[in-house]
Structure 1
Amino acid sequence: MKKPNNVDASGQPMVFFVTSLGAFMGSLDLSIVNVAFPALERSFSGDSRALLAWIITGYSIVFGAFLVAAGRAADRLGRKRVFSIGMIVFVVGSVACAASPDLAGLIAGRLVQGVGAAAMLPSSLGLLLDAYPAERRSQVVATWGGVGALAVATGPTLGALLISAGGWRLVFLVNVPIAALALAMGKGSLPDVRPDPSLDQPDYLGVVLVTVSAASLVLAISEGPTWGWSSFPVILGFVVSVGLGNWFVRRSSHHANPILNMELFRSRSFSVSNLATLVYAMGFFAMLLGNILFLTTVWHYSILQAGLSVTPSPIVVSIVSRQAGKLASRFGFRPVVLAGGVIFAAGLLYFPLMTSMHSNYLADWLPGTLVVGLGIGLTFPVLGAAAVSSLAKEFYAVGGAVGQTARQIGGAIGVAILVVILGVNSTLSDFRHLWFFCATMALVTALLAIALTNETGPRGDNIAVQSGDI
């Protein structure tokens, strides 16, 4: 990408607004679709929960796999162009989801959404950085990240309201007016920095390898109880996943422009942080969906009640995450991530110890969900910052993208494990086992934090980029 010319100060607010709409859309889908899951189960009652889970896992796998390649494509083709194309693709996927007559069409629409989100998010951040001078970027990017946190916080309530008003299809159609506004306003306001077509093309075969490898693993895990763990399809799924994963790593070690730059993993902080992110995401994403399913199946809450009930946690996250970077800057990454993992586990353990078949929201649910929010707010943003803290500045963007990929792949694996734990007719005992699994992942993350180098977090762009990213 050629050296950018910062946008005139009078045009910067518009650039921030448009790019924030892209961040809002991508982050909103993280929580709003989880709220829709019970309604989707009723609409597609003939399909198994393992198949329905692909609505979430398919999106996560494609989004994570395409993220780095899309960011590099934006450098070659132009960030404004890739941002616009990504938003259009995301809307096409959203409309396809809303109009889908069957589960196969819905999953296909979600895969398209994943490609669009992968193109939209890194290019939106690049456009924002192009528009502002260096001395203002940290503050502006932190605020941009806060918009994403706000989207996650409002997703459960907004999704529940939309579903109650007109059904689950509105959850996908809500993206259309947001995208239309962003495209209309961005046409004349986004910086049109000249692309650099001389840059090498991303390793698109590597994208295919990591996508199929992750999908095979998720398929083998989620269908294991149904097909049998020793059945040929399940064993084949594990073999394909390991084989293609090994091919992907070997290819990335020698490719001129790999999806995964293996040199980055020479940094202990980068390696440990991304492993911790993957493990943490397994518990985090399983909890997000599991809590909605518990409230609607065991406590028999309506979707609106369930959406409102889980909202306090992401609100706490959005508040705490802004302070987490300051704590890391003062005390170092290790104690903050360690404390966050333990607190997250404590909040998760509150649920199996306190909940029963009879709902008591204020005593049995609210305290746990507030503690969970505190733990997440201390952990996720600091893990992202720790991953890039030891990298040279020119690797901040790709380092952050690798962290996002680890998060999405970990989330897909976590949801697959949820399917195994909950089974078909979930009981209170099944949910207790799920919460124990999530708490275990949180404690493993805390143990991994001990291996982090305890440097204090910088006050630059890398902390800011992660501060609102939950």
Structure 2
Amino acid sequence: MNAPDSQTIMPSPANKAQAAPSTHTSNASPWRVFGVVSLAVFLVSMDGTMLFAAFGSLREGFPLATPADLSWVLNAYTMVYAAMLIPSGGLADKHGRKKVFLGGVALFLAASTACGLANNVGWLVAARVLQAIGAALLTPASLSLVLAAFPQSQRAVAVSLWGAVGGLAAAVGPSLGSFVIASVGWQWAFYLNLPVGLLALWRGATLLTEATQQARPRPLDLLGMGLLIIGIGALALSIVQSESPAWSRHELLSVAGIGLMGIVGFVVWARVASAPLVDLSLFRNPTYRYVNLASLSFSIAFSMMFFAFFFYMNSIWHYSLPLAGLAITPGPLLVTPVAALSGRLASRHGHRPLLLAGCLVYAASGLWFLLVPGAEPAYLTQWLPGMLLSGIGVGMVMPSLSGAAVSRLPANQYAVGGAINQAIRQIGSVMGVVLTVLLLGSAGLQRVDFDAVYLCHVGLALLTAALCLPVNTRPATLVKPNDSDASRETTR
């Protein structure tokens, strides 16, 4: 059997005090804590994809805006969310997970109200930026609260279910959004957050408890954050505007060059800064490194699939928005039960078997969409099987990636390590939206136009499977003594 990752599984005696979870819930059961944080996580994840269904309504609501302009309603949120997740994880670990969680929920709700009141695209994008900051504050804190609430033996199941909540919400977002938007307008895609968010805020304030934080607060790496936002934003802009007559090739290449310089500068700065936004030493762990690369590729595929779904339903089969929302529902309904079963299996055998099998199932769903559905509607025979395959694949892969990313981290790095993984997933989501707009953003779509999207879907799923081959999160009891010795030697 292979040796476990070079990241030590158990903290050394000298580090036990530091590694112990600083947040505890002595007066509440772990599952009650899980329920509170899941409400907020569900809202954040759902909000990230609900506007896929609103793209057409936003076009009607803002007729002077181009598709590229409206894509920033999605991408401004996703990019700021990605850039802010990592410093937010550090704030949660150092200043208090309950405090940061509740502050993030409050800001998310206030920004959701501002989004619903927006009367122009600029206002809406600005409100989405604030919404993204609130979402970034609460997400890593929520994972830390879950990890700290459960004993080690139950964490694989808990983290899988935490990931399943996010995966289910992201998958449900387009279908629920289609009903809400068609019934009462795109503004209610944001107002819908208020009652559930207020419940999470109230229950979190009364239920969650928090120990005193002993570690010194980590300074905020503003330069690193700026470089990351510039890098991702410039690359996304160059792709979105690649077919726009308002931008010359020279200008697009210049913007893409700025983006690449921003990413390279971010990596260089992270290597020399005393308190960088991303601690690159985390990536010395092979499992952590490959899980994050796999998260990037799978998030691109996931985002492309769901965004392309509404283009197909509206442009090829001419479904109404509520009917399209109903058509997408069966896949998401499978995510949670599959994730719950996957978590139990991962606690016994590690995450790699689930990741490999799930990626193959997800690739099969992309192959189905590529080869089977035609120009004439035939939902039960041509679309439903692909949706069921995709739901099973997402339920196996997405929660397992979240669980594998934090499975070998010490407790004092729960939020930061999990936040890096979530940030990389959001970067993938940005890239997926940008590529889908590039491939399908023009008017007069034909069935053949979707072939490139589904080929990307299949290729990215297989790439994710290949990246998951080095992942090793098997429980320590399954590791041979000689393997453990080799791991300790590698760690030294």
Give the alignment's TM-score, normalised by structure 2: 0.85
1:391 to 1:190, Cα distance in 2 relative to 1, 3 A: closer
CA distance in 2 between counterparts of 1:156 and 1:256 reads: 42
> How far does residue 89 in structure 1 lie from its aligned partner after superposition?
1.5
Q: Is the 8 A contact 1:127 1:191 kept in 2?
A: no
Residue 417 (structure 2) aligns with: 399
> How far does residue 170 in structure 1 lie from its aligned partner after superposition?
0.5
Deviations 1:231-253 (A, max 9, x none): 23211211111111111111111
Mind listing any 5+ residue stretches in structure 2 that lack a counterpart? 1-17, 478-492
Which of 464, 468, 486 is residue 445 of structure 1 equivalent to?
464
CA distance in 1 between counterparts of 2:282 and 2:242 reads: 34
Deviations 1:249-307 (A, max 9, x none): 11111222222111122222222221121112111111111101211222111111111
Residue 468 (structure 1) aligns with: none
> How far does residue 221 in structure 1 lie from its aligned partner after superposition?
0.7
> How far does residue 413 in structure 1 lie from its aligned partner after superposition?
1.0
Residue 419 (structure 1) aligns with: 437
> How far does residue 199 in structure 1 lie from its aligned partner after superposition?
2.4
CA distance in 1 between counterparts of 2:77 and 2:253 reads: 24
CA distance in 1 between counterparts of 2:471 and 2:194 reads: 44
Q: Is the 8 A contact 2:156 2:347 kept in 1?
A: no
Tell me how many residue pairs correspond in the alignment: 459
Residue 271 (structure 2) aligns with: 253
Residue 383 (structure 1) aligns with: 401
Equivalent positions of 1:289-308 (< 5 A) are 289-308=307-326
Residue 236 (structure 2) aligns with: 218
1:276 to 1:150, Cα distance in 2 relative to 1, 3 A: closer
Equivalent positions of 1:97-176 (< 5 A) are 97-130=115-148, 140-176=158-194
Residue 380 (structure 2) aligns with: 362
Alpha-carbon RMSD: 2.7
CA distance in 1 between counterparts of 2:406 and 2:31 reads: 28
Equivalent positions of 1:2-401 (< 5 A) are 4=22, 6-9=24-27, 15-130=33-148, 140-196=158-214, 198-227=216-245, 231-329=249-347, 332-392=350-410, 394-401=412-419
> How far does residue 333 in structure 1 lie from its aligned partner after superposition?
4.1
Q: Which amino acid aligns with 2:305?
A: M
Residue 463 (structure 1) aligns with: none
Q: Which amino acid aligns with 2:467?
A: L
SS for the counterpart of 1:202 is: coil
SS for the counterpart of 1:410 is: helix
> How far does residue 143 in structure 1 lie from its aligned partner after superposition?
4.6
Q: Is the 8 A contact 2:140 2:416 kept in 1?
A: no
Deviations 1:343-368 (A, max 9, x none): 21221121131222211100110011
Q: Is the 8 A contact 1:73 1:201 kept in 2?
A: no
1:209 to 1:100, Cα distance in 2 relative to 1, 3 A: same
1:317 to 1:229, Cα distance in 2 relative to 1, 3 A: farther
Residue 7 (structure 2) aligns with: none
1:12 to 1:206, Cα distance in 2 relative to 1, 3 A: same
Give the alignment's TM-score, normalised by structure 1: 0.89
Mind listing any 5+ residue stretches in structure 1 that lack a counterpart? 460-470
Greater relative CO (CA pairs within 8 A, separation 6+): 2
CA distance in 2 between counterparts of 1:131 and 1:273 reads: 24
Larger displacement relative to structure 2 (352-361 or 75-84): 75-84
CA distance in 2 between counterparts of 1:311 and 1:247 reads: 42
CA distance in 2 between counterparts of 1:219 and 1:458 reads: 45
Q: Which amino acid aligns with 2:100?
A: V
1:382 to 1:210, Cα distance in 2 relative to 1, 3 A: same
SS for the counterpart of 1:357 is: coil
